[in-house]
Each structure stands twice: as structure tokens, then as C-alpha cells.
Amino acid sequence: MSVQDLGIGGLIMSVTDFKAAKKWSKLPKNKQELLVNNVFCSTCGVTTIVKYTLSDDEFGILLQGKCKKCGKDVARFVEDS
Ligand SMILES: [Zn+2]
């Protein structure tokens, strides 16, 4: 498994946490896309997260990246199912 296999359309620039990446890769592609395209930005409202990194957490995965529309920092927590 390579880092490239984990991204959606190459949006992931770097994966900082292998465990998180592994968890993320186990999610179905359609769910990943849903999560990535449904991130809240304080400026734009619902937006798409780009250039994100994944961090492992006890209860899930934290996505941290930039808003696709305005470039502001946004984050999304994905709970383990
Ligand atoms: Zn924004």
C-alpha cells in the first residue's frame, strides 16, 4: 500500500500518521469523498477540504487541511465506525 493509493484524486499532499492513513484507507471511497466534501469552513460554510493530513486519534481520525474555496485552515473529525 502506498500513500498515493489513499488520496482522492491526489488531494493528499502528505500523510503524517500511518495508523490514521490505514484507518482512512479502510473507509469506502464513497464515504471518504462524502467526508472530504462536507467540511465546515467558518467563512464559506460547507466546503471541500484539500491538501489535508490525517492524524490518528483514540476515537477516530482527524483531517486537517485547507478550504478549497478560500484557503483557510479547516479540520474534520471522522469517528471510528
Ligand atoms: Zn472557506
Distance from the CA of 1 to the center of ligand 1, in angstroms?
32
The count of domains in the chain is 1
- Mind listing the pLDDT tens digit of every residue in the chain (81 residues)? 344 445 554 455 454 688 899 999 999 999 999 999 999 999 999 999 999 999 998 899 999 999 999 999 999 999 987
- CA quadruple 13, 22, 49, 52: dihedral sign: negative
Distance from the CA of 75 to the center of ligand 1, in angstroms?
11
Do residues 3 and 41 lie in contact, with contact meaning Cβ atoms separated by under 8 Å? Answer: no
Distance from the CA of 46 to the center of ligand 1, in angstroms?
8
In sequence order, the 6+-apart residues with CB closer than 8 A to the CB of 66 are 49, 50, 51, 52, 72, 73, 74
Q: What is the pLDDT of residues 56-76, one digit of tens each?
A: 988 999 999 999 999 999 999
What domain range includes position 73?
Answer: 3-79
At 6, the amino acid letter reads L
Distance from the CA of 6 to the center of ligand 1, in angstroms?
24
